Structure 1
Amino acid sequence: MANDVMFEGKERRMPKIEKCLAEYGIGSLEEARELCKSKGFDPYEIVKGVQPIAFENAGWAYTLGCAVAIKKGVKTAADAAEAIGIGLEAFCVPGSVAEQRNVGLGHGNLGAMLLRDETKCFAFLAGHESFAAAEGAIGIAKTANRARKEPLRIILNGLGKDAAYIISRINGFTYVKTDYDFFTGELKIVETKPFSDGERAAVKCYGANDVLEGVAIMKEEGVDVSITGNSTNPTRFQHLVAGTYKKWALENGKKYFSVASGGGTGR
């Protein structure tokens, strides 16, 4: 078994990785990558293409996950996403919060949700100072709809209207300016401004002044699944929006799932 590739925290991760490799009859991480290449794709390069500064272990975790999906003989994109989660889980450090919360499996299941037509709208809840959410939205907009019958609606919902406008302009998204009436709870769409004509324009970017407006935006779009970025505003905006919207969803029979990207805390 080679496994000569280098990545962060390798010594702590290898026992679980080797167990996963053995379970699916794969000799090494290098062999896993070659298996994927033989099917016409390279998960490692795909990861680096979406996020050039991604950690090495991310590239290899997805490589292992894709090899597992091939070995399992899955036939649909959603089932492949769930199988990829097995590879991600194998890379979670033993005893870590990520392992305790099954972050790898959880993110595989999250991907599967976005690939199934039951999910209509996916939201990135972010502080809007983070461009990681924008990169994620671009990646999903480019690929998810290939596996869906009905296009997935993608929105960014974050703190600050100026920030939302800037992110929309830089990335070619559609900026949606809203006005929230704190007395009546009514949300008005003031302006919709697309900054491109392509697939990126399908991504709507909202900027909220506070939590209540953020929740109103979630209701307006009928968000089914969201992911919150653990940036500088989690306790000021995104986690509060997710929790408040979850309460409303439960009270109104709306199915909604939220995951926090850093901690993997599914609500």
Structure 2
Amino acid sequence: MRQIGDDYQIEINAPFWMGVVFFLAVVVSCVYLFLAAQKWLQDSQQLPISQLKVAGERHYVSHNELYKALQPELHKSFFMLDVNRAQAALQQINWVEYASVRKEWPETLNIFVVEQKPVAVWNQDYLLNENGEIFQADKNRLDRELPELTGPPDAAKRVWETYQQYASLLKLHGFEAQALMISPRFSMQLKLKGGLQLKLGRENGETRVKRFLRHYSELQHQENLEYVDLRYDTGFAVGKKVSQS
């Protein structure tokens, strides 16, 4: 702005204002493109997941269960699908111990599933995996008979390890362990296939199982034998089934 006499004349710098207008136009265009791109990415019709690849050995989890668990994420586009949420959804399936999810351009979801490996029934209503961890799942899907373990809620791993110890020892001599019951006071009772029960008490369980094995030849000809009570320092007692008259 300069003074001419008593008047003022404003000079407009045309290149400067043109630059400002151009800059604002660029900003508006970028915002518009960003919003349009975001809307396009969120649109499930743009690059939808159309292929599901499942890997991992499965005996208990069906393909349909996996698909159902992933439904909330499969409605999203390839870019918006959250693999962490998808993985968490799969791991909510009772029979799944671990799952991983990976996207493969442009329309594939790769899934790897590790199932629980049940080794025993725990307290009738639950199952134990090979690490002695409790999980709940449909026992009707089991493809084999499992040993039945009973014990205090926080002693599952200990009971499983104890069962394995006794079962291995018995197997060497041709016996098959079927169940192990441990009371809240940790008194043990081992059931063999066929129904014979070994009362082992709280201590020296392995020693008492070995005593049973040494003296079994003295017992095998007895009829209606129900249990062998080994809660003695040296000997044992036996009990017979009560006949129903």
Normalising by the residue count of structure 1, what TM-score does the alignment of the two structures yield? 0.23
Which of structures 1 and 2 has the bigger CA Rg? 2
Q: Which has the higher contact order (CA 8 A, sep 6+)?
A: 1
Normalising by the residue count of structure 2, what TM-score does the alignment of the two structures yield? 0.24
Q: 1 or 2, which has the higher helix percentage?
A: 1
